[in-house]
Chains A and B, each alone.
Chain A
Amino acid sequence: MIVCIFTIVILSLAVPLLYKVFGSKTAYLLAIIPAVIFTWFLYQYLQFSPAFPLQESLTWNPYFNLNFSFYLDGLSLLFLLLISGIGAMIYVYAGYYMKGKAYYGRFFMILTLFMAAMLGLVLANNWLTVLVFWELTSITSFLLIGYEHEKKKARYAAWQGLLVTSFGGLALLAGLVLITIVTGEYTISELSNFSDTLQSSTLYLPILLCVALGAFTKSAQVPFHFWLPNAMAAPTPVSAFLHSATMVKAGIYFLARFSPIIGNTIEWQILLCATGGLTMLTGAIMAFKSDNLKKLLAYSTISALGIMVLSFGLGTEAAVYAGLAYIIAHALYKSTLFMLAGIIDKQAGTKKISELPRNLYKKMPAAFILVTLAALSFGGIAPFFGFVAKEMLMEMVLHAPFFSSILVIVMVLTGTFFVTLLLILAHSTFFKKKGKAGRNIIAGGTIFYLAPLVTALAGLYFGLFPDQLSELLSNAAATFANNIPEKHLALWHGWNMALALSILSIIAGLGLYWAKIAFNWKPKAGFLSLIYPSNIYQYLFNGVIKLGEWQTRKIQTGYLRYYAMFTLFTILLLAGFTFFYKAGIRINTSTIDVYLIDLILGIIALLALAYTLFSPSKIDSLLSLSIVGIAISIIFFTSGAPDLAITFFLIDTLTVTVFVLILHKLPKKIIPKTTIARYRDAFISLGIGLLITLILFSITYDPLTSRLKQFYAENSYNIAKGKNMVNVILVDFRVLDTFGEITVLAIGALGVFALVNYSKKNTIL
């Protein structure tokens, strides 16, 4: 597992190089990676049926309990097979779709990296590792959504996706930290032992809310659903992969993973069922409203995600099986539909149903057949796998432990919308009576249809032989609780209530579609737009930018004196508060030795300082300021710090040099300060001076009995072979600090370099 993920990461970095060698065939080459992973794990699983869970671990940073520990059980395997299986198909599809587009190599590099992150996410066992992969999926999907970065819409959508999901990521981090505070455990597989401790803890509610917030943002639940439809700005292979089978499923996976740990309490059930139910209805209605094929699919994805959240929220045996089955069904039909939406978009030139040419089925028969295959599964029509999953969902809501009747109504309503959507996809799109004749539509290469064909047929195959998935699902379900029995999936359950509800939803769906066609009915759904969360997002987004502009205007005035004033005043406030509050003033005059030479130098420094302050000439002030510096460096020298003295002296010299150089560039006319400003500045400067003096007195109050001094004195020659202790500390004992410091200095110098070259428009340095 470790090898497999690291190999993909390294390979992903090599993709641009591969592209140089193999050109546009790179994608087909890359498709081998997920295909190998898929077959390898499937083969291992079928051949040896290994005892779950499999574990592997690699220490990363033991101090922070940070391990690359990976863990394969039924749930991870299910997701792993989905990601790699769909992933392989997506590569084949994208290889054709992206042919000849700009940044081909970069696109596949990010896509591969994303796949690695996704695989890592479902396999990781240490929650710190999980978070790393979680954020990695957010970042890579940001890059993929914003792939067409010259479009403003794509950039906006990418930002939105990143901000929403990383907000959730932060919430998740908080939740996981809280879990570790309660349990002290970093390994997810061990956490289920602590479920009682967690659920009785006072921190349980915050933990639940934080974890759920993370999962909800990632899985686009109401009210965070708005980023997903916008994310359709991404190229279609990305939508098909990220927003149907993988990225948004990460939140679902997380809920499934944490269900045995913090799940199945009243709070969990209420939160997840309410959110899931609301999301599935909202998504279905919004999908019904959309005219854009990709948006329609995106909203129906939101709805499907709501169904999954609902089923894991219920947490009964039937619900767990139904949720897991629906994940497979959804991944299969949704990736097919997305891929076909991309084909239609590419060949017919539009994604809008109303703009499609008439009688498209004649021109794209293959697309029509495939869309119908997938859409039938989507609508839950026998004998497709979608039907099997839907039967299980009906079964689940019928036997729900609470609010069964409400859930049944919601489920049937969603089912109705799904059937209508099926008809829109299969009928409205391809059998338009009116509309343009359409330009010359090329059917597209065979290879273009290969990937959706495989996924569509898989949906049919598993519909006909659902028992093939029984073992996989049972293994996955076993991770939810110990006592979940194995279950056998079947296409035909006999005449029962679930089937009746299915038929009801189909009839209602037909009716709704007829009504939509007959009356050209477009529901306004104004009540939904009232609480448009995307408006809130927009408001916050603009607000933050406004705040930034305001505070930049206020603080970044461009006047050095104000920068100095703000900085010093802040120091005075914060350090002063801390000092008086935590330490207090302590003065012990007996520890202070004053020598005559220090006294004389001190008086010289004071006199020079007074001259600096009150001299009318700027150059005079400057020169007397350098006297202060020289006097201080002599004090350093007489106090036994020659290194400090030399450095101080040189710095002082160079500073004065810079000042002299700048001086004649300053405006000749000095704007006199107001009296209030004078008092304010005097207050701040005197305050800082007084504070530093008091702090110094307090530090010297305690006799210096540090072991450090002794340590350096003993070891600097014996170990580090240097007699100059200061230098030994700088270049040997604390060398990493020094390295950091010179790096900072170098970056500062680069800043100066950039500024100078910017204003002078030539590169002299």
Chain B
Amino acid sequence: MKSLILTITAKYILPVMMLFSVFLLMRGHHLPGGGFVGGLTAGAGFVLYAFANGVEVTLEKMWLRPVKIIALGLLIAFLSGLPGLITEASFFKAYWLPWEVFFLPKLGTPLLFDAGVYLVVWGIVMVIIFPNITED
């Protein structure tokens, strides 16, 4: 069953939700938000899209399969701990870039870690919910 309204809505809402989720991730260090909430939002956006267009169409449009997104997230989170491990033998010691980029928060390993969390959560939401969406 395809609903035209839903399909069109999802098409326009998905990018907005993705942007919003990245916004939540970025502002997380100073204001309410963060990787977990961002990942949930991104996941919710894709779930909506899958409702409207079906799971297979959604998956075809993605570069990475959800399971690989989880793996990538874990890898990024792990890598963000390595600089501290190498320099001071203290896993996950935080490092920040000394300069600030316009419009962006201060960049550093904690933000990278949060991005890993974001990816993991985003992937998990899809892995759990997608199999239950059946087209009938």
A655 and B81 alpha carbons, distance in the complex (Å): 32
Nearest neighbor of B131 in chain A, beta-carbon distance: A756
The minimal Cβ–Cβ distance linking B61 to chain A, given in whole angstroms, is 14
* Interface assignment of A743: CB less than 8 Å from any CB of chain B: yes
Chain A residues lying within 8 Å of B113, measured Cβ to Cβ, are 731, 735, 738-739
**Contact flag A735-B92 (CB < 8 Å), given A643-B34, A742-B117:** yes
Q: What count of chain A residues pass the 8 Å CB interface test?
A: 41
Looking across the interface, which residue of chain B has its beta carbon closest to that of A756? Answer: B131
Is B127 a contact partner of A739 (Cβ separation < 8 A)?
Answer: no
Chain B contacts for A726, CB-based, 8 A:
32, 34
Could you tell me the distance in whole angstroms from the C-beta of A660 to the nearest C-beta in chain B?
9
Nearest CB of chain B from residue A710's CB, rounded to whole Å = 20
Query: Taking the complex as formed, is A657 at the interface, i.e. its CB lies under 8 A from any CB of chain B?
Result: yes
Contact (Cβ within 8 A) B74 A742: yes
Within 8 Å by CB of B74, from A661, A731, A743, lies A743
Nearest chain A CB to B83's CB is how many angstroms away?
Answer: 13
Instruction: Establish whether residues A658 and B129, one from each chain, have CB atoms under 8 Å apart when the complex forms.
Output: yes
Binds B, one of A162-170, A298-306, A336-344, A744-752: A744-752
Query: Of the 9-residue stretches A40-48, A82-90, A715-723, which lies at the interface with chain B?
Result: A715-723
> Do residues A752 and B37 form an inter-chain contact, with CB atoms below 8 A?
no
Q: How far is the CB of B135 from chain A (nearest CB, A)?
A: 12
The reply to whether B123 and A661 contact each other, CB–CB distance below 8 Å, is no
> A605-646 toward B: CB 8 Å interface, digit per residue (1/0)?
000000000000000000000000000000000000011001
For window 289-309 of A, CB contacts with B under 8 Å fall at: none
- Tell me the bound Cα distance from A732 to B34 in angstroms: 12
Q: Is A724 an interface residue (CB 8 A)?
A: yes
The answer to the question of A131 belonging to the interface, with a C-beta cut-off of 8 Å to chain B, is no
A727 touches B28 (CB 8 A): yes
**Docked complex Cα distance between A753 and B134 (Å):** 16
Interface string of B28-71 (1 = CB under 8 A from A): 11111111110011011001000000011001000001110011
Asked if A647 is an interface residue, CB under 8 A from chain B, the answer is yes
Residues of chain A within 8 A of B74, CB atoms compared: 742-743, 746
Cβ of B94 within 8 Å of any chain A Cβ, yes or no, is yes
Contact between chains at B131 and A727 (CB < 8 Å): no
A736 contacts the other chain (Cβ, under 8 Å)? yes
Give every chain A residue within 8 A of B28 (Cβ-Cβ). Answer: 724, 727, 731
Instruction: Check if B13 is an interface residue, CB within 8 A of chain A.
Output: no
B125: chain A residues at CB < 8 Å are 654
Let me know if A564 is at the binding interface, CB within 8 A.
no
The reply to whether the CB of B22 lies closer than 8 angstroms to some CB of chain A is no
User: Taking the complex as formed, is B132 at the interface, i.e. its CB lies under 8 A from any CB of chain A?
Assistant: yes
Instruction: With A654-B125, A658-B132, A721-B106 as known contacts, state yes or no: A739 contacts B67, CB within 8 Å.
Output: no
Determine whether the beta carbon of A654 is less than 8 Å from that of B129.
Answer: yes
Instruction: Kindly provide the distance from the CB of B101 to the nearest chain A CB, expressed in whole angstroms.
Output: 15
A665→B55 CA distance, assembly (Å): 18
Interface size range on B against A:
35 or more
Chain B residue with the shortest CB-CB distance to A731: B110
Closest to B84 in A: A735
Give which listed residue, A658, A735, A765, contacts B66 with CB less than 8 A.
A765
Tell whether, in the assembled complex, residue A736 and residue B91 are in contact, meaning their CB atoms are under 8 Å apart: yes
A728 at the interface (CB under 8 A from B): yes
A731-B35, A732-B94, A749-B128 known; A765-B65 Cβ under 8 A: yes
A749 and B70 contact, Cβ closer than 8 Å, known pairs A657-B47, A723-B31? yes
Q: Which residues of B contact A720 (CB under 8 A)?
A: 94, 110
Is A51 positioned at the interface, with any CB of B under 8 Å from its CB? Answer: no
Whether A753 lies near B31 (C-beta < 8 A) is no
Q: Which residue of A lies closest to B78 (CB)?
A: A739
Q: With A661-B132, A742-B120, A743-B74 known to touch, is A654 a contact of B40 (CB < 8 Å)?
A: yes
Report the minimal beta-carbon distance from B43 to chain A, rounded to whole angstroms: 7
* Chain B stretch 1-42: residues in CB contact (< 8 A) with chain A: 24, 28-37, 40-41
- Contact residue among B31, B121, B131, B134 (Cβ-Cβ distance under 8 Å from A765): B131
Point out the residue from B33, B43, B56 that lies within 8 Å of A727, measured CB to CB: B33
- Asked if A730 lies at the interface with its beta carbon under 8 angstroms from chain B, I say yes
A724 CA / B114 CA spacing, docked (Å): 13
Q: Is the CB of B32 within 8 A of A642?
A: yes
Q: A750 touching B32 by the CB < 8 A rule?
A: no
A753 and B44 contact, Cβ closer than 8 Å, known pairs A658-B132, A735-B113, A746-B120: no
**Is A20's CB within 8 Å of the partner chain B?**
no
Mark out the residues of chain A between 256 and 297 whose CB falls within 8 Å of any chain B CB in the assembled complex: none
Of A651, A662, A724, the contact of B34 (CB 8 Å cutoff) = A724
A571 adjacent to chain B (CB < 8 Å): no
A712 nearest CB across to chain B (Å): 14
A731 & B117 in contact (Cβ 8 Å cutoff) = yes
A720–B28 alpha-carbon span in the complex (Å): 13
Question: A654-B44, A731-B35, A731-B114 are contacts. A745–B121 as well, Cβ < 8 Å?
Answer: yes
Find out whether the CB atom of A647 lies under 8 angstroms from the CB atom of B70. no
A753-B116 in contact given A643-B32, A654-B43, A657-B47 (Cβ < 8 Å): no
CB pair A752 B132 closer than 8 Å: no
B133 and A661 form a contact (CB under 8 A):
yes
Do B37 and A650 touch (CB < 8 A)? yes
Q: Is B130 touching A765 in the complex (CB atoms < 8 A)?
A: yes
Q: How far apart sit A738 and B121, CA to CA, in the bound complex (Å)?
A: 12
In the complex formed, the residue of B with least CB distance to A651 is B40
| A433 at the binding interface (Cβ < 8 Å) | no
**A653 at interface (Cβ–Cβ under 8 A)?**
yes
CB of B82 within 8 Å of the partner chain: no
- Determine how close the nearest CB of chain B comes to the CB of A646; give it in whole angstroms: 5
A531 to B135, CA, bound (A): 65
Q: Which 9 A-B pairs have the closest CB atoms?
A: A661-B132, A642-B32, A723-B30, A650-B40, A756-B131, A722-B29, A731-B110, A749-B124, A749-B127
23 A-B pairs (CB sep. < 8 Å): A643-B33, A653-B44, A658-B129, A661-B132, A661-B134, A662-B132, A665-B132, A721-B29, A724-B32, A728-B110, A730-B34, A731-B110, A731-B117, A739-B113, A742-B73, A746-B70, A746-B71, A746-B73, A749-B70, A753-B127, A764-B56, A765-B59, A765-B127
- Partner-A contacts on B (CB < 8 A): 24, 28-37, 40-41, 43-44, 47, 55-56, 59, 65-67, 70-71, 73-74, 77-78, 81, 91-92, 94, 96, 106, 108, 110-111, 113-114, 116-117, 120-121, 123-134
Taking A731-B28, A743-B74 as known contacts, 14 extra A-B pairs with beta carbons closer than 8 A to each other, sorted by chain A number, are A646-B24, A651-B40, A654-B47, A654-B129, A658-B129, A727-B29, A731-B34, A739-B81, A746-B71, A746-B124, A749-B124, A749-B128, A753-B67, A764-B59
